Amino acid sequence: MANRSQAPTDRSHGPAAPVLQGGWLTRGEEGRFSAYLPRDGEVVRWTEEPGGGWSGPVSLGGGGLTPFLAVGQGADRYVHLVGLRPTGGDEGHVELVHAVQFQTGRPAAAWRPLGHSNVKGPWTGNPAVAVDAQGRVYAFVRNGGGGLSVRAQKDAGGWHPWWDLKGSRTDPSPVAVTNGSGLVELYTCHATGVVRYVQREAGAKPIREEILPTSVVMGTLAAVIGPSGHATLFYLDGEGQVTAWSPERSLEPTPLGKAVGTGRLSATRCLIDGFDCTVLAQQSEDGRLALAAYPSEQEAEGLNWSETGERQGNLNTVLTRGLDGGLVAMAVADGRTPVTTRQKVGAEGLLLEGWRSIG
């Protein structure tokens, strides 16, 4: 599987397949899903219809975006989209741009520029998005110095200037989450370990904590908020082990078991046989999607992988859950139309329906 820690600096360079960050499959207040994908310089959206079918794709504009998209959703169910758009000229410079969709199936608001963490410059990393309990958006990105910067929304509208969060030589693809207290956390890694940035009060600048010394492979990070409200980070170590670390629950990382591939992990929580479980996904070495589950926040249980679906090329996967608590998965290979599956209602264990295209 290709390393998805890289992205093009403009539309003429880099992979044609999309590069996705965050929960690009979102659920509205009424329970219907929307899926978002960068395509041909814009973002397109599919919408689940009341009868269970899908409509789309519908263009949400973008004005010449690169094949990258980061998605974050707040407790108000508003969906925030962050893309990268060339600024013109031949220097390969880009800027971050933001749009928001307020209701399922409705048009998105106009794309607005957020600028570049170094005022102007080329691609430095893949943005990550989180939304706090008050609905404020935080767009994180690795800056030109290799550390992290963030642009955050103000209470009364508008945006703060870029905040430099410091650091160096960090992962191009960080992971942002909102914990059970409604505060934003960001995880990235360094050659010597994992780095956590965390808010200590609402609306505040996230604070960089000490590096956790550990072996970690860049481009493999995923995170989920557990029933305790604390974040758990997942990553591959240098030996190919899936490892979990929850800084508020354990000082040391916990190996969960051997990975089935080398690429990025995806994670969510859902109900399996009535129990709260954490589900991980990764593309296996032979190109299929593999899933593994364990009781949430009980890392000692370890992982057992099960493969599903057909062999694919470069696979982007997102996991979430429906109103009934069941798992919903979506995957897109090499920029084609996404396919989706759901957990079978009433079945024992994590048994999925057949995969089907939303096109």
Contacts of 90 by beta carbon, 8 Å cutoff, 6+ apart? none
Q: Using pLDDT thresholds of 50, 70 and 90, give the confidence band for residue 90.
A: low
The confidence score (pLDDT) of residue 62 equals 93
What 3-state class would DSSP assign to 230?
Answer: coil
Extract the tokens encoding 49.
């219809």
Burial code (b: 16+ CB inside 10 Å, e: under 16) for 184-220 equals bbbbbbbeeebbbbbbeeeeebbebeeebebbbbbbb
Span 319-348, pLDDT tens digits: 999 999 999 999 998 778 999 999 999 899
Q: What percent of the chain has pLDDT over 90?
A: 85
Q: How far apart are CA 22 and CA 81, in angstroms?
A: 10
Q: Using pLDDT thresholds of 50, 70 and 90, give the confidence band for residue 89.
A: confident
Span 276-295, pLDDT tens digits: 999 999 999 999 999 999 99
* 177: amino acid identity, one letter: V
The confidence score (pLDDT) of residue 12 equals 32
Query: 174 with 186: CB under 8 angstroms?
Result: yes
* 353: amino acid identity, one letter: E
Omega prior to 174 cis, within 30 of 0: no
Extract the tokens encoding 155.
């209470």
Average pLDDT over residues 307-327: 92
Q: Which residue has the tokens 């170590």?
A: 237
The confidence score (pLDDT) of residue 156 equals 76
Span 103-125, pLDDT tens digits: 999 988 999 999 999 999 999 99
With a cut of 50, say whether residue 1 has pLDDT above it: no
R_g over Cα of the chain: 19
* 196: amino acid identity, one letter: R
Which is nearest to 227 in space by CA: 243, 246, 242?
246
Give the 3-state DSSP-derived string for 279-346, with helices as H, strands as E and coil as C: EEEEECCCCCEEEEEEECCCHHHCCCCEEECCCCCCEEEEEEECCCCCEEEEEEECCCCCEEEEECCC
Average pLDDT over residues 129-148: 97
Span 44-85, pLDDT tens digits: 999 999 988 999 999 999 989 999 999 999 999 999 999 999
Average pLDDT over residues 290-312: 94
Span 198-252, pLDDT tens digits: 999 999 999 999 999 999 999 999 999 999 999 999 999 999 999 999 999 998 9
Extract the tokens encoding 232.
């758990």
Give backbone dihedrals phi and psi of 131, rounded to 5 degrees, phi first: -125, 125
Rounded to two decimals, the pTM is: 0.93
The confidence score (pLDDT) of residue 107 equals 87
Lowest pLDDT segment from 17-21, 58-62, 260-264 = 17-21
The confidence score (pLDDT) of residue 2 equals 30
The confidence score (pLDDT) of residue 6 equals 36
With a cut of 90, say whether residue 15 has pLDDT above it: no
The sign of the torsion formed by the CA atoms of 260, 237, 250, 142 equals negative
DSSP state of 76: T
The confidence score (pLDDT) of residue 16 equals 54
